[in-house]
Amino acid sequence: IEGAIKIPTVSVSPEDLNTTAMAEFGNYIREVFPAVFSSKFIQHEIVGKYSHLFTVQGSNPEMMPYMLLAHMDVVPAPPEGWDFPPFSAAEHEGFIYGRGTLDNKNSAIGILQALEFLLRRNYRPRRSFYVGIGHDEEVFGQKGAMKIAALLEARGVKLSFLLDEGSAILDGIIAGVKKPVAVIAITEKGSITLNFTVEKEPGHSSFPPKETSIGILAAAMSRLEQNPLRNLFGHGPELMTMEHLASEFRFPLNLIMSNLWLFSPIVSRVLAWKPSTNALIRTTTAVTMFNAGIKINVIPSSAKATVNFRIHSAEKATEVLETVKNTVADDRVKIDVVEAFDPLPISPWDDQTFGVHILQRTVLDTFPDVDSVVPGTCIGNTDSRHFTNVTNAIYRFNPLLLKSDDLPRIHGLNERISVENYEKQIKFLFQLIKNCDIDKLPEPHANSHEL
């Protein structure tokens, strides 16, 4: 992983990618995973110039294949504020520092490392599977993952499940829950980005109009912030998350969570207090850009703002647009859609679903401290959203133990992974591939409180 972190595979926008580094990443993985690239039953293809697709042919073609997905690209990392340079892969006190250690070279390299270990032990998987490594996930994945998905679809591939990044094992992050909990996201929020523009006659600041373009737009933005979209607790997977977690909460929360039919109005109000839990229960509103004015004594002719809404699984982009228009309620504010997509379908979550069974089993095999494996929502977006035509069972889970101080490091300063965490991730992936080769798995070991 350290060699991979040193390659600055930065993507800034769909047109602005460090393609030299992405090509170098391709050469690097060939060099460090010789068994993967020389195996007679693994086919390697480069897709969209820089992404990678591996087809691992199992010995039993009757078994339905699955897919492991990751990405090599990272968000920019200006070095100011970092304890170690962001592309140094410096090791310090058991941690490896660098952009991509959590998002998402740990998965890209971890998958290949697990596969390399299995091959060196002369292991031939029974069940076929695919490994996809995208190169533009951070900028919508249109040339990488989208093309990989189209290729699989054109070949008539159907997957039993797909595993991508998304959620993780949360340790001390869920208030009231003592033990680490594996949260596997079974959907991800949709998104709609809107541009708001107000055009007015320009003029001199010595005789201003009653309202300027800035004032009108600022008032509209304030109305959006003051009137959030409705609380939808109970209409999406967040209800399932709480129900599955009920027994893990301390008293009296365990009692409350076990009786959501009675207490859900209270719980939904409490969840709305913190930004991190508020994001699970509603479509969120984030004013991200605001531009106006050219000179201190000129009334500007226009003001522009951009707002990004992350859409709850019980709503659609068209509904959000309609609500926004009603909230702004001012014809002088012009609204344009920049991009929009609906929330992803909710993947199955039951013991009869092969992917769920495998993931539960592998988490319990690899992380002995974890008792609960629960479904959840991914509030960001991943490359997996492009694969809905090849499987309905998409699971978003990075097999890492994350504490609350790790969360701001993702896309932020001092992103890092502990050596122990990375080793666990490889062990998880190694075990997952082996577990997938069993036709029918034995029941996962149950917790004492479930017996």
Reading the block at residue 112, the tokens are: 């290949």
What's 250's DSSP letter?
P
3-class state of residue 434 by DSSP: helix
What's 104's DSSP letter?
T
Active-site residue, selected from the candidate residues 137, 164, 315, 371: 137
Task: Give the residue among 133, 162, 105, 155 at the shortest CA–CA distance from 49.
Answer: 133
What span, in angstroms and rounded, lies between the C-alpha atoms of 172 and 180?
A: 7
Burial of 184: CB neighbours in 10 Å, binned 0-12, 13-18, 19+: buried
State CA 369 to chain mean position distance: 24
Tokens 């082996």 locate to 434
What span, in angstroms and rounded, lies between the C-alpha atoms of 305 and 158?
A: 42
Packing angle, helices 105-120 and 419-435, rounded to 10: 60
Catalytic, 137? Answer: yes
Catalytic, 73? Answer: yes
DSSP codes, 125-150? -SS-EEEEEES-GGGT-TTTHHHHHH
87 and 2 in contact (C-beta within 8 Å)? no
* 284-292 sheet: strands from edge to edge: 284-292, 302-311, 190-199, 334-341
Rg, C-alpha atoms of the chain: 24
- Which residues have a catalytic role annotated? 73, 137
